[in-house]
Structure 1
Amino acid sequence: MLGEKLRFGAFIAPFHPIEENPTLAIQRDLELVQWMDQLGYDEAWIGEHHSAAYELIASPEVFIAAAAERTKHIRLGTGVSSLPYHHPLMLADRINQLDHMTRGRVMFGVGPGALVSDAFMMGIPPSKQRDRMDEALDVLVPLLRGETVTHKSDWFELANARLQMTPYSRPSVEIAVASQVSPTGARAAGKHGAGLLSLGATSTGGFNALASNWAVAEEQAREHGQTMDRRAWRLVGPMHIAETREQAMADVRFGLEKWIYYFREIANLPIVPADAENPVEALINSGMAVIGTPDDAAAKIQQLLDESKGFGAFLFMAHNWADWTATKKSYELFARYVAPRFQDLNVNRQASMDWVKSNKAEFTGQMQAAVGARIVQHMMEKGSENIRPEIVEMITGAAAAKPPGE
C-alpha cells in the first residue's frame, strides 16, 4: 500500500534586492506561484513585513487573493501573519473571507513577527510579541471555528465577537505556527493542535532543534487534550539546483551575496560569518543550503526525514539567488526529478517496466505466433503462389529467430 505523499512548496518572504523595481518584483512573486501551480507544487506561503526594504509584501491576504485567481490547485498560506500587529477579529474576518474566496485553498500561518523594526514602528515592545501571539491565538482558534468570543486584554477587546460567515473549511482553515530554535512556536502549536512551520530547518540550530521541538509540541498537545499530526509539519530551507553543481554555483552568483548581506547587516541574522573568505562556500559547507543537483536536493530531504522521523511537507525558502530563468529551471528540475522520489510517483511505472522486461521472451514468442497465424490465414485464402518468397520463408521458421540477445 502506498503511503502519504510528501508535499512540496515554497515559503515566499519574499527577498528582493534594493536596486530592483519593487512593482515588478511583486509581479514576479505572483508569476512564481503560477509556475509552481503548473508544475504541481502543493503549497505557497506568503510573508508579512513592514520594514527593512527587502521583504516587500505587507499584506499576504491581498497577495493570496490575487494569486488564487491566477492558479487552479496550489494551496496558499499566510507565511506568516504577525499576530501582535492585528486586532484578532479583523484578521480572522479577512482569513475567513479568503477561505470562501479560494474555496478552501487558504491556510493560516501565524507568528509573533520576525522583524523588531516592524514592532518598533507600531510601539510594540519586542518583549511582548510572543505573549501577544499566544493571547491572540487563544481567541483566533474559536473565532475561525465560527464560535462567539468575549475577551478583554491590555491591547485588544472582544465583546460577543463572531464572524458573520461560518467557515468554508470545517472545522476551520488549517492553522500552522512558525517555529525556529526556541520552543515558543512548538508550544503554541501543541496547545491548539495546530501545524508546525519549522523555519530555518536546514540551519545548524534549526536542524538540531527539529526532534526536540516536535517533542515539545507533542507534550503540550497531551496536556491540552490535543494531538499533533506529522502531516501538518512543514520544514523550510533554501535550495537552488541545476543540471550540474558547477552550473548551480554559477547561477547563484546573481544574487546570493546580496541575500547574505541582508541577513547579516539588516535583519541581524548572520547566516554566514562576516570574515568568511568565500560566503557561498561557507553557506554550503554549513549544511544550511543546497546549491547543486537534484541528487543533492534529494539527499538533504532524506537527511531531514531521518532526523525528524517524518514530516508532511518541505518548503523552499524562496530567495532569488539566481536570475528568473535559472530560478524557474530550479523549480522545474525539482518537480521533475526530486519530488517523484518522495511521492512514489513512479513505483507502478517501474513495476510495469520490470514485469514486461522479465517476460520479454514469452511476449515476443506470442507476438510472432500471432503474426505467423495471420500470414497462414492469408495464404490459405490467396494461395501460396501469391505470397512473396520472404513471407514463405518466415512461415517455415527461418525468420522466426529467437529474440535479440538470446
Structure 2
Amino acid sequence: MATDATMYGPALRHGIFMAPFHAMTENVALRYQLDFELIEHLDRLGFHEAWIGEHHSAGMETIGSPELFIAAAAERTKRIRFGTGVVSLPYHNPLMAADRMIQLDNQTRGRVMFGVGPGLLASDAFMLGIDPEVQRDRMAEALDVLLRLFRGEVVTEQTEWYTLREAALHLAPYTYPHPEVCVASAVTPSGGRLAGKYGLGMLCVAAGETAGFDALGVNWGIANEVAAEHGHEMDPSRVRLVLGVHLAATREQARQDVRFGLKEQIDYLNNNMPRLVVPDGQDTVDWYIERRTAVIGTPDDVIERIERLQEKHGQFGAVLLLGHDWADREQTMKSFELYARYVMPHFDRSNAARRNSYEWVTRNQAELSGKREAAAQNMFRRHEAEWAQRGKTSAERPSDGLEATFN
C-alpha cells in the first residue's frame, strides 16, 4: 500500500480556557477539588493545554490566583500544559509577577505559559483604585519590563504605579529562553499590537462571539504588520482561539443539557456589563444558539465551526474550549470526552492511516477474498488427501462440515 506523506495534518492543539464560572450557591472549597478533577480528566483524554483565569470580584469566577491553582493542578497531572489566562498585569508589580511565573516554570519543569492582559472586570480595577482608562497603558509598561527581566536584564525604572531599583530575577527560567508569553486579544487592537511588537502569542478570548469572530482577521493583520515593523514574524501556532462548546449525542440532548446553567451564566455576564440581552418571550437557549455564539450540539457541529474559524483566520495553533457549568457535571465531563473521541482525530488526521487501510481493502476485496478462499480450499484438499492415505472412511472425515462453515 502506498504511503501518503501528507497523511497527518498540522498539530492543532486542544485545551480549556477556565475562568471558571460557578453558581454562587455552590460550595467553593468543594468546587476547587472538582475543578482539579476536571483538569485530571482532560489530561487523561489527551487535551494539550489548560488556561486558568484571575478574577477578584463579581461572584462566579472563583480563582484569584491562577498560579496557586496551576501549582496544585500540575501535581495531579502528567502531560497537560498550563497557562495563566490571564494575569492582569496592572494589578501586580512586574517583578513579583515575573518571579511567580519563573518559580512555576521550574516547579512544573517547563509545563507553564504566561498569558497576560489588562484586566477584564471593572469591579476589580475599582477596588484597586485603578482607572480603567489606564489599564491598557499599564499593561504595556509591565509587559515590556517582564520580558526584559525574563531575558536576564537588570531593570531600574519608575512609573506612577511601580518602582524598580536594580531589579533582576534570581532564578533562571527552566524553559529556554523563558516560558511562552501570550497576550489576550478580544475586539480592540491593543492585544494584536503588543503581540506584534514583541513577537508573542495571542489568546483570542472572544473568537466564538460575533464581534470577536469579525475582529479575528483585522487583529491578526495588525499583529503581522506591527511585527514586520519590529523585525518579527508572527507564529500562527502560538495563536489560541476560545470557543464555547457543549456536546452530546444529539443536538436535542445538548440543548436539554445546557438548560441546567446557561441562563445563570448569561445573567452573570450581563450583571457585569449588559451585552447579551435575550428578547422578551424568547427562549434563552434557542436565542443563544441562533446567535451562533457557541456550539451546542454534536461533534460534527463543532468540527464545522472550527473549520469556519480556520477559513476566517487561516492556520492557528489551538482551540480552547470555554470552561462553564452550562450542563451538570456528568454531562460536562461527557462533552469533553466526546470532543476528545471525535473532534481531535478529525483535525490531527490520526485515523487517516486506518481509513486508508479500510479503503484499500475495499478496493481489493475481490482479490483478497479470492486468495483467502483459495488458501482455505487448498488446506481442505491437503487434509482430504492425508486422511485418505490413512484409510479413513468418508463418515470419519469432518472436512465437509468445516468447509460449509467456512463458506
Bucket of the pairwise TM-score, normalised by the shorter protein? over 0.9
Structure 1 runs of 4+ aligned residues shifted over 6 Å read 392-395, 398-401
The answer to whether structure 1 residue 283 and structure 2 residue 291 are counterparts is no
Q: CA deviation at 1:156?
A: 1.4
Query: Equivalent residue of 1:73, what SS?
Result: coil
Write the mapping of 1:49-128 to structure 2, written as runs, cut at 5 A: 49-128=55-134
CA displacement 1:271-293 (0-9 Å, x = unmatched): 23464622221111111011111
Instruction: Give the aligned partner of residue 303 of structure 2.
Output: 298
CA displacement 1:11-70 (0-9 Å, x = unmatched): 000001111111112222111111111111111100000011110000000000011011
> Structure 2: which 5+ residue stretches go unaligned?
1-5
Instruction: Give the aligned partner of residue 21 of structure 1.
Output: 27
Specify the code of the residue in structure 1 equivalent to 2:290: N
The answer to whether structure 1 residue 309 and structure 2 residue 309 are counterparts is no
Q: CA deviation at 1:302?
A: 1.1
Q: CA deviation at 1:160?
A: 2.5
In 2, the alpha carbon distance for the partners of 1:143 and 1:110 equals: 15
CA displacement 1:213-253 (0-9 Å, x = unmatched): 00011111111111111111111121111111111111111
Instruction: Give the aligned partner of residue 391 of structure 1.
Output: 399
Instruction: Give the aligned partner of residue 329 of structure 2.
Output: 324
The answer to whether structure 1 residue 334 and structure 2 residue 325 are counterparts is no
Query: Equivalent residue of 1:147, what SS?
Result: coil
Select between 381-390 and 302-311 the one with higher mean Cα deviation: 381-390
Q: CA deviation at 1:389?
A: 4.3
Specify the code of the residue in structure 2 equivalent to 1:249: R
In 2, the alpha carbon distance for the partners of 1:368 and 1:82 equals: 70
CA displacement 1:96-153 (0-9 Å, x = unmatched): 1111111111010000001111111111111111000000000111212333333222
Instruction: Give the aligned partner of residue 3 of structure 2.
Output: none
Q: What RMSD over aligned residues (CA atoms) do the two structures have, in Å?
A: 2.0
Specify the code of the residue in structure 2 equivalent to 1:168: Y
Specify the code of the residue in structure 2 equivalent to 1:223: E
Instruction: Give the aligned partner of residue 277 of structure 2.
Output: 272
Specify the code of the residue in structure 2 equivalent to 1:326: Q
Query: Equivalent residue of 1:165, what SS?
Result: coil
The answer to whether structure 1 residue 347 and structure 2 residue 355 are counterparts is no
Query: Equivalent residue of 1:238, what SS?
Result: strand
In 2, the alpha carbon distance for the partners of 1:372 and 1:325 equals: 54
Query: Equivalent residue of 2:84, what SS?
Result: strand
Select between 366-375 and 204-213 the one with higher mean Cα deviation: 366-375
Gap change, CA 1:86 and 1:368, over 3 Å in 2: same
Q: Percent identity?
A: 51
Query: Equivalent residue of 2:85, what SS?
Result: strand
Instruction: Give the aligned partner of residue 151 of structure 1.
Output: 157
Residues 116 and 126, structure 1, Cα contact 8 Å, conserved in 2: yes
Gap change, CA 1:126 and 1:399, over 3 Å in 2: closer
Q: 1:212 aligns with which of 203, 215, 218?
A: 218
> Structure 1: which 5+ residue stretches go unaligned?
402-406
Specify the code of the residue in structure 2 equivalent to 1:248: A
Query: Equivalent residue of 1:247, what SS?
Result: helix
Q: CA deviation at 1:269?
A: 4.2
Residues 387 and 397, structure 2, Cα contact 8 Å, conserved in 1: no
Residues 197 and 236, structure 1, Cα contact 8 Å, conserved in 2: yes
Q: CA deviation at 1:311?
A: 1.2
CA displacement 1:151-200 (0-9 Å, x = unmatched): 22221122222212211111110111001110011111111111011111
Q: Give the TM-score taking structure 2 as reference length.
A: 0.93
Q: CA deviation at 1:378?
A: 4.6
Gap change, CA 1:245 and 1:374, over 3 Å in 2: same
Instruction: Give the aligned partner of residue 12 of structure 1.
Output: 18
Residues 5 and 344, structure 1, Cα contact 8 Å, conserved in 2: no
In 1, the alpha carbon distance for the partners of 2:353 and 2:155 equals: 51
Q: 2:254 aligns with which of 248, 257, 260?
A: 248
Residues 272 and 283, structure 1, Cα contact 8 Å, conserved in 2: no
In 1, the alpha carbon distance for the partners of 2:405 and 2:38 equals: 57
Select between 370-379 and 183-192 the one with higher mean Cα deviation: 370-379
Residues 276 and 282, structure 1, Cα contact 8 Å, conserved in 2: no
Residues 384 and 399, structure 2, Cα contact 8 Å, conserved in 1: no
Residues 230 and 310, structure 1, Cα contact 8 Å, conserved in 2: yes
Q: CA deviation at 1:92?
A: 0.7
In 2, the alpha carbon distance for the partners of 1:356 and 1:82 equals: 56
In 2, the alpha carbon distance for the partners of 1:241 and 1:347 equals: 24
The answer to whether structure 1 residue 370 and structure 2 residue 375 are counterparts is yes
Give the paired residue count.
Answer: 398
Q: CA deviation at 1:320?
A: 0.5
Query: Equivalent residue of 1:338, what SS?
Result: helix
Q: CA deviation at 1:370?
A: 3.3
Instruction: Give the aligned partner of residue 186 of structure 1.
Output: 192
In 2, the alpha carbon distance for the partners of 1:125 and 1:347 equals: 53
Q: CA deviation at 1:363?
A: 2.4
Q: 1:359 aligns with which of 364, 367, 390?
A: 364
Residues 149 and 158, structure 1, Cα contact 8 Å, conserved in 2: yes
In 2, the alpha carbon distance for the partners of 1:269 and 1:43 equals: 30
Residues 70 and 82, structure 2, Cα contact 8 Å, conserved in 1: yes
Instruction: Give the aligned partner of residue 404 of structure 1.
Output: none
